[in-house]
Amino acid sequence: MRTLKFLLQKEFRQIFRNKIILRMIIGLPIIQLIVMPLAADFEFKNINISVIDHDRSSYSKHLTDKIIASGYFVLNDYGNSFDKSFEQFQEDNADLIIEIPKNFELDLIRENTNELFIAVNAINGTKASVGNAYLNQIITDFNREIRLKNSTPPRLSQSSTIEIENLNWFNPFLNYQSFMVPGILVLLVTMVGAYMCALNIVKEKEVGTIEQINVTPIKKFHFILGKLIPFWVIGIFVFTLGLFGVGRLVYDIVSLGSLFTLYAFLSIYLIAVLGIGLLISTFSNNQQQAMSVAFFFMIIFILMGGLFTSIDSMPEWAQWIAAFNPVTYFIDVIRLVMLKGSEFKDIQKQFIIITVMAFIFNTLAVYNYRKTS
Amino acid sequence: MPEVILENISKSYQDGKVKAVKNVSFSVEKGELFGLIGPDGAGKTSLFRVLTTLLTPDSGIATVFGCDVVKDYKSIRQHVGYMPGKFSLYQDLTVEENLNFFATVFGTTIQENYDLIKDIYVQLEPFKNRRAGKLSGGMKQKLALCCALIHRPKILFLDEPTTGVDTVSRKEFWEMLQRLKKQEITILVSTPYMDEATLCERIALIQEGEIMSINTPQGIIEEYPKKLFSIKSSNMIQLLDDLRKYDSIDSCNAFGEYHHISFKSENTELAKSELTTYLKRDRDYKDLVINDINPTIEDCFINLMN
């Protein structure tokens, strides 16, 4: 116990003397949490649209106005030549082209039907499909308006229309930030835990101090605990700073569920993440190697953790990878607890999985870490 | 019973491709100042790492104060002091913090063993609040020695302690070792500098993982089989070339100001006068100086290498 105390004292002393690490611990959660949720927004605004209006009627004007007024689209150009608009398309100025045919209004009234042409620039797949969906919605709406206008009142009462009312549970205003901020917080904690822990141990290898430690009676177990505990504390600190300092003060996000459950999960999650860091450090001989390996895993963890893309829509093999990704479970849990107010019994499964992961990673790391070669 | 025993120790790296240590056997008596002398890559550090339990040998048995380096590594770690060739203390901790840290991990305090490090530590004391990384090379060595001594080890392993240290600090360092010897601490030191060999009580000359000779420095010098001469002229480069071409020369090596030569024949006086005549008359060397000399450890090393 006494040895551990001195190891911890030494470790904290070194961390607090390292100005860059200190700035990272405090600056990273604040800056990242302020910048990223505002930037990484899936709501597409400012989709550039080219309107080709061969009709120039009041209907076509009305449709154009309706599209622009929706707030999602910006009118890039308004003309009557497809070639000219397609040029805009090719120069990447326009994301969407809508072509209104000649005699649009006339044919619509006379024949009760007409066709519109929409071309989508699918280089940015998400933007294209979202833009297309928005546009379709506007056109459907426009269609309904026309039908109401052209129908005679008695017929209106007969023709029944379905009105759809959406109700968003757990995030009633579809607030993007209350969905993203907790997820990004998870990534931050993961990065701080895995990177700092791995780099710190590898640094001892690189400088050679680990040799000096290895010839002392310090036990393997003590040395590893001496490394894990400081970064566990830092992880908790970063999480708290992000949750209260930024989440509550800047975004006004308050956890619906119990903070105790959240912190209990965080505690085990951090052990798992630190275990990964420890494992990486046992395989690496210098900080460069550790950094590259950690980066490789971190990219997979981040992109396949369900923060940016839904895991349910991934192919099955990818879902299996996600199932072995600790980030998946914490993102799941933090959203369930904070937005839905889930309790311990609801997230039991995640608790068990992360505990098993923590156990496996650390056992492997301890097994792999030897005092002799 | 000797304090350190090595029996047929071998160690190779990269799956046997690089043989660092080949069948090395020697022993070190209690209280002895033992030197392991050899060039870079001779296997000195590998041997030290085996003895300090950091490396398990491929074959052979090594014991340190009776404990096996593989099985009883725990008890060895309690009582050895190791100073690696590379400075490996915490650069971001101060002199005092480093010393305190290593004292506590061995379950002792600076005060308890202060008498042992006092002579060295007084020189460090003015800088005790300075970070170890900001010390000069000589000071770093002193601090490393203090940290290796703070738990009053039975054996001290010093791996190239004087490499990269200036001449004055080197001399000081060896004086410190002589003082430590009086405290009955067994000291194993390795060095690539042949001139330091004479400061040890016994030395082992090591080359390419093999021990070439183990003896007292004096004994090794006496083992030198030939009579040795030093020779000097104004054109040393030409002279070396001419000597090597000359038939009756057995060995000829450049040693700074002089070349050291030995003859093939037993009758060295005759050979010497023949050589002098040849060089003066046929090769036109005017300011030739030839002296009888005693061989140095380096001469012995080169002789053994061939």
Q: What is the CATH number of the domain that holds B282?
A: 3.30.70
DSSP H or E stretch at residue B180: helix B167-182
User: Which pLDDT belongs to residue A174?
Assistant: 65
Paired strand residues for A14: none
Residue A153: count other Cβ atoms within 10 Å of its Cβ.
Answer: 7
Paired strand residues for B13: B18
Are B104 and B136 members of one domain? Answer: yes
Q: What is the mean pLDDT of residues A222-234?
A: 92
Are A12 and A140 members of one domain? Answer: no
Mind telling me how many Å the CA of A204 is from chain B's nearest CA? 9
SS3 of residue B14 by DSSP: coil
Are B285 and B248 members of one domain? Answer: yes
Are B174 and B244 members of one domain? Answer: no
Residue A84's domain spans which residues?
47-158
Report the chain A residue with the minimal C-alpha distance to residue B101: A6
Are B293 and B147 members of one domain? Answer: no
Contact A63, A100 (CB under 8 A): yes
Tell me if A178 is assigned to some domain. yes
Contact B154, B28 (CB under 8 A): no
Is A212 in contact with B87 (Cβ distance < 8 A)?
no
Place A165 in a pLDDT band, splitting at 50, 70 and 90.
Answer: confident
Contacting residues for A36 by C-beta, under 8 A, at least 6 apart: A180, A184
Residue labelled with tokens 């929409």:
A118
d(C-alpha A346, C-alpha A261), whole Å? 11
Could you say which of B187, B206, B222 is where a domain stops?
Answer: B222
Q: How many domains does chain A have?
A: 2
Flag whether pLDDT at A148 surpasses 80: no
Give yes or no for A160 touching B (CB within 8 A).
Answer: no
Could you say which of A158, A187, A202 is where a domain stops?
Answer: A158
Contact B28, B63 (CB under 8 A): no
Is B105 in contact with A6 (Cβ distance < 8 A)?
yes
Are B218 and B232 members of one domain? Answer: no
Write the CA distances from B101 to A206, A216, A252, A287, integer angstroms.
20, 11, 46, 24
d(C-alpha B27, C-alpha B47), whole Å? 12
Flag whether pLDDT at B206 surpasses 90: yes
SS3 of residue B152 by DSSP: coil
Helices then strands, counting H and E runs in chain A, come out as 15, 4
Contact B188, B156 (CB under 8 A): yes
Flag whether pLDDT at B165 surpasses 70: yes
Paired strand residues for B131: B94
Are A312 and A225 members of one domain? Answer: yes
Contacts of B77 in chain A (CB under 8 A): 215-217
**Burial of B85: CB neighbours in 10 Å, binned 0-12, 13-18, 19+:** middle
Are A215 and A186 members of one domain? Answer: yes
- Higher-pLDDT residue of B56 and B266 is B56
Residue labelled with tokens 């928005």:
A134
pLDDT tens digits along A43-58: 677 888 899 988 888 8
Are B73 and B51 members of one domain? Answer: yes
Q: How many domains does chain B have?
A: 2
Tell me if A166 is assigned to some domain. no
Are B204 and B252 members of one domain? Answer: no
Mean pLDDT value across chain A: 86
Residue B271: count other Cβ atoms within 10 Å of its Cβ.
Answer: 21
Report the chain A residue with the minimal C-alpha distance to residue B83: A212
- Take residue B93 and report the two structure tokens written for it: 């901790």
Could you say which of B164, B189, B222 is where a domain stops?
Answer: B222
Are A345 and A203 members of one domain? Answer: yes
Could you say which of B222, B250, B266 is where a domain stops?
Answer: B222
Q: Which residue among A209, A212, A215 places its CB closest to the CB of B53? A: A215
Residue B53's domain spans which residues?
4-222
Tell me if A268 is assigned to some domain. yes
d(C-alpha A242, C-alpha A238), whole Å? 6
pLDDT above 90 coverage of chain A, percent = 30
Are B32 and B102 members of one domain? Answer: yes
d(C-alpha A49, C-alpha A262), whole Å? 45
- Higher-pLDDT residue of A123 and B141 is B141
Q: What is the mean pLDDT of residues A65-85?
A: 86
Contact A335, A311 (CB under 8 A): no
d(C-alpha B22, C-alpha B12), whole Å? 8
Contacting residues for A289 by C-beta, under 8 A, at least 6 apart: A202, A283
Flag whether pLDDT at A156 surpasses 60: no
Is B91 in contact with A207 (Cβ distance < 8 A)?
yes
d(C-alpha B78, C-alpha A219), whole Å? 12
pLDDT above 70 coverage of chain B, percent = 100
Contact A335, A165 (CB under 8 A): no
Are A111 and A13 members of one domain? Answer: no
Are B165 and B274 members of one domain? Answer: no
Residue labelled with tokens 């160690």:
B11
Tell me if A235 is assigned to some domain. yes
Are A195 and A146 members of one domain? Answer: no
Are B101 and B147 members of one domain? Answer: yes
Give the phi and the psi of residue B278 in degrees, each rounded to 5. -60, -50
Tell me if A61 is assigned to some domain. yes
Burial of B178-190, coded b for 16+ CB within 10 Å and e otherwise, reads eebbeeebbbbbb
Report the chain B residue with the minimal C-alpha distance to residue A212: B88
How far, rounded to the nearest angstrom, does the alpha carbon of residue A355 sit from its chain's CA centroid? Answer: 24
Report the chain A residue with the minimal C-alpha distance to residue B54: A372
Report the chain B residue with the minimal C-alpha distance to residue A371: B54
Strands B33-37 and B202-207: parallel
Contact A3, A214 (CB under 8 A): no
Q: Which residue among A6, A7, A211 places its CB closest to the CB of B88? A: A211
Strands B186-191 and B228-232: unpaired
Write the CA distances from A214 to A251, B80, B203, B259, integer angstroms.
48, 12, 27, 46
Could you say which of A158, A183, A212 is where a domain stops?
Answer: A158
Compute and round to an integer the Cα radius of gyration of chain A: 28
Are A261 and A190 members of one domain? Answer: yes
Tell me if A163 is assigned to some domain. no
Mean pLDDT value across chain B: 90
Place A324 in a pLDDT band, splitting at 50, 70 and 90.
Answer: very high
CATH of the domain at B170: 3.40.50.300
Contacting residues for A343 by C-beta, under 8 A, at least 6 apart: A257, A258, A261
pLDDT tens digits along B84-106: 988 889 999 999 999 999 999 99
Give yes or no for A150 touching B (CB within 8 A).
Answer: no
Give yes or no for A19 touching B (CB within 8 A).
Answer: no
Is B102 in contact with A216 (Cβ distance < 8 A)?
yes
Is A13 in contact with B87 (Cβ distance < 8 A)?
no
Contacts of A214 in chain B (CB under 8 A): 54
Q: What is the mean pLDDT of residues A20-25?
A: 87
Tell me if A181 is assigned to some domain. yes
d(C-alpha A288, C-alpha A296), whole Å? 12
Could you say which of A158, A187, A216 is where a domain stops?
Answer: A158
Flag whether pLDDT at A159 surpasses 60: no
Write the CA distances from A198 to A29, A265, B78, B193, integer angstroms.
19, 22, 28, 38
d(C-alpha A121, C-alpha A132), whole Å? 10
User: Which pLDDT belongs to residue A371?
Assistant: 53
Are A99 and A237 members of one domain? Answer: no
Are B157 and B236 members of one domain? Answer: no
- Take residue A77 and report the two structure tokens written for it: 């150009």
Are A203 and A89 members of one domain? Answer: no
Q: Identify which of A269, A239, A248 has the alpha carbon closest to the alpha carbon of residue A333.
A: A269
Tell me if A218 is assigned to some domain. yes
Is B84 in contact with A208 (Cβ distance < 8 A)?
yes
Are B25 and B64 members of one domain? Answer: yes
Is B92 in contact with A18 (Cβ distance < 8 A)?
yes
**Residue A19 corresponds to which amino acid?**
K
Are A207 and A340 members of one domain? Answer: yes
Are A89 and A55 members of one domain? Answer: yes
Mind telling me how many Å the CA of A200 is from chain B's nearest CA? 12
- Chain B residues at the A interface, defined by Cβ less than 8 Å, are 52-56, 73-74, 77-78, 80, 82, 84, 86-93, 97, 101-102, 104-107, 147
Are A345 and A239 members of one domain? Answer: yes
Report the chain B residue with the minimal C-alpha distance to residue A3: B105
Cα angle for residues A86, A89, A90 (degrees, 5° grid): 95
User: Which pLDDT belongs to residue A179?
Assistant: 81
d(C-alpha A363, C-alpha B27), whole Å? 40
